[in-house]
Amino acid sequence: MISKIAVRLGTATAAVTLAALGVGALTAPSAMAGTSGGPVHIQSGTFHLYEKNGYKGGWAGLTRTDKDLRNNHFDNGRKVDNQTSSVKNYTNKYVDLWQNVGCSGAHTTSYPGTKDPKLSNDAIKDNRLSCVKFR
């Protein structure tokens, strides 16, 4: 009976129900699961940038607009600026990807909940991302 109510009323109710049952604290959905291709990172509300095509290499997550990616680094320590090749949009927002610091030049838009394994197929091209703007 509890599970039917939780499903019907939504995720927030499910979280409260699970916490009340002693299942554990539930925060923003996140997980890290190993696969044959390496770790898979999932964080709701986060825009993920990957160093290599196909979501490989280092990764970094953004939760808001950053008009200058020069001070950002992937989890492996390498620079994000002009080194991003693929992205995943785990947000409910449109995210504009711009070629130049300050959000100018060529750009591509990532739609909510979408993935792009190869930015070289887009107007922004590969390894040219310097600004990310959430809207």
Looking at the fold, whether 101 and 130 belong to one and the same domain comes out as yes
Q: Residue 14: which residues within 8 A CB-CB, separation 6 or more? A: 6, 7
**pLDDT at position 27 over 90:** no
87: β partners: 49, 116
**What is the pLDDT, as a whole number, of residue 7?**
31
Looking at the fold, whether 57 and 116 belong to one and the same domain comes out as yes
Looking at the fold, whether 60 and 103 belong to one and the same domain comes out as yes
Angle at 29 between CA 84 and CA 117, to 5 degrees: 25
Looking at the structure of the chain, the number of domains it has is: 2
Q: What is the pTM of this model?
A: 0.70
**Whole-angstrom distance, CA of residue 30 vs CA of residue 80:** 22
- The residue whose two tokens read 């291709």 is 37
CA atoms within a 13 Å half-sphere pointing along the CA-CB vector of 23 = 10
Looking at the fold, whether 34 and 66 belong to one and the same domain comes out as no
Looking at the fold, whether 77 and 92 belong to one and the same domain comes out as yes
Looking at the fold, whether 50 and 96 belong to one and the same domain comes out as yes
Looking at the fold, whether 35 and 96 belong to one and the same domain comes out as no
Looking at the fold, whether 88 and 58 belong to one and the same domain comes out as yes
**pLDDT at position 75 over 90:** yes
Domain that includes residue 10, residue range:
1-40
Looking at the fold, whether 26 and 55 belong to one and the same domain comes out as no
> DSSP H helical segments within the chain, as ranges?
2-9, 11-20
Looking at the fold, whether 31 and 90 belong to one and the same domain comes out as no
Residue 34 gets the label, from left (phi > 0), alpha (psi -120 to 50) or beta, of beta
Looking at the fold, whether 72 and 20 belong to one and the same domain comes out as no
**pLDDT at position 8 over 70:** no
